[in-house]
Amino acid sequence: MTLLRVENVSKSFGGLKAVDQVSLELRKGEILGIIGPNGAGKTTLFSIIAGSMPASAGAVFLGERRLSGLRANGVVAAGVVRTHQIVRPFTNLTVLENVTVGAMFGSPSTRRNPRARAHEELAFVGLAERAHHLPAGLTLVARKRLELARALATGPKVLLLDEVIAGVNPVEAIEMTKLIRVIRDQRGISIIMIEHILAALMSVSDRVVVLDYGKKIAEGKPAEVVRDAKVITAYLGEEHAKSNGGIRGPAAENSP
């Protein structure tokens, strides 16, 4: 069953089309990966879905509800929330207070007892013991887990993960990948994720969409996508595309 639909979405900045008529569907209970070279339009697409940036054309739907035109807080209340590449917690608030803020601005059910909800999410991501610490004392991977907890505290149906694994060490990457699966399997939350570490994304995604210069150039199972000639060209150039050996270099080098 389709949960989220992106229909012919475009975004222009002057003469530059950052996203060019992209359509995709997220199914209920699915993890959908989005990959593409730097500047492909991935984060811009996330910003449009999350309501923090208006589309120049096209629309986004959650079920039959149109999200396009809603402010970001309205999109969160509807059940779609994102994390960010650069984690920016409220530095003057404790870890618990950061997550409580997420619960206060989430769905109606999370607002009834936001502090209890925050405790629940911190335990879920493994940060219960750091609840009364300030974010400045956390490692990078712990800050990423804090970002996840704050997003989960809103009670999402769809979670948009923007490079939540990038920058951590290989052991931490494996643990983060496991946590993403648990979020889907135990919470029933559907996930769209952008990830620079291709091997991690390919290992956890049910399907993958590939963007290049703002356009969708491929979509399918991970094993199919990495052997697509257009995808190989986008990442590695014409010579690799001719050999059609698949995207092995980046995935192997970044494997968790």
Given this model, what pLDDT does residue 256 score?
A: 38
Report residues of the chain scoring pLDDT below 50.
Answer: 240-241, 249-256
For residue 203, give the H/E element and its range.
helix 198-204
Given this model, what pLDDT does residue 107 score?
A: 81
What lies within 8 Å, CB to CB, of 27 at 6+ separation is 1, 2, 3, 190, 206
Q: How far is 160 from 76, CA to CA, in rounded Å?
A: 11
What is the CB-side half-sphere exposure of residue 117 using CA atoms within 13 A? 25
Given this model, what pLDDT does residue 247 score?
A: 55
State pLDDT tens for residues 197-249: 888 999 999 999 999 999 999 999 999 998 898 888 887 665 544 555 555 54
Whether residue 250 contacts residue 231, with contact meaning beta carbons closer than 8 Å, is answered with: no
Given this model, what pLDDT does residue 235 score?
A: 76
Q: How far is 89 from 193, CA to CA, in rounded Å?
A: 20
Given this model, what pLDDT does residue 243 score?
A: 55
Given this model, what pLDDT does residue 245 score?
A: 53
Q: How far is 7 from 21, CA to CA, in rounded Å?
A: 8
Q: How far is 101 from 97, CA to CA, in rounded Å?
A: 6
Q: How far is 148 from 82, CA to CA, in rounded Å?
A: 9
In order of 30, 50, 63, 189, 237, the CA distances from 161 in angstroms are 13, 11, 20, 12, 28
Whether residue 199 contacts residue 252, with contact meaning beta carbons closer than 8 Å, is answered with: yes
Whether residue 225 contacts residue 218, with contact meaning beta carbons closer than 8 Å, is answered with: yes
**How far does the chain reach from its first CA to its final CA, in angstroms?**
31
